A and B are shown apart, each in its own frame.
Chain A
């Protein structure tokens, strides 16, 4: 089955991103296809590479980056939601005149159209949120 995933909550604050990660991992292990994981609302915080969790805890942000690297999963962050919350890639930081960027490896920033497209292209959209 071809899945699209929507993550609407931030890392650590809410279970949603953990559940989404576990679902994606399990689906890939069973041979399913993940068309795209789209991060919206506070879900965009999953894409910060500046997150520093305690060493005895899971590293949610890094875990996504590793998943993207291992399985070529398309991790897309909504640009409008990301800009509100201070998640920027290098190009966007430059364009906005900001002195730093923080998008983690394996993620890309794009528009909401990517969410709609994913919902149309996939056989199922699974929403992880509050």
Chain B
């Protein structure tokens, strides 16, 4: 198609209570093949998607959190987490399974304004 667009995937939901996070990750993986300028942002309960040491065994659900560590292999390496969302949940960047850039709400809003496409999940 010859165009490069800035695509942002906005992840807003906790990982296992609903399927949004898991299916959003599937979109990111497929989307990586299109060679666009991809970013991921995690806000609200979405920050829990990146929490270390997730254990879903007792619920019988699939633990897809290791997949976030594979994103770098797909050249998806711009991951942003909202500072206010982390703080409200007693979390910091050290609690997350992948390296991220922590942005304030205002900084994240500015980043979103620069995007061509925002997928909201």
Contacts and interface: CB of A to CB of B under 8 A. Distances in A.
B107 interface: no
Contacts of A117: 1, 34
A119 B117 CA distance: 7
Contacts, number: 48
Given A112-B30, A116-B34, A130-B20, 17 more contacts: A6-B119, A8-B121, A41-B23, A80-B23, A80-B26, A111-B30, A112-B27, A112-B31, A116-B7, A116-B31, A119-B119, A120-B3, A120-B34, A121-B1, A125-B117, A125-B119, A129-B120
Contacts of B20: 8, 41, 130
Interface of B: 1, 3, 5, 7, 19-20, 23, 26-27, 30-31, 33-34, 36, 117-121
Nearest to A6: B119
Interface of A: 6, 8, 40-41, 80-81, 111-113, 115-117, 119-121, 125, 127, 129-130
Contacts of B23: 40-41, 80-81
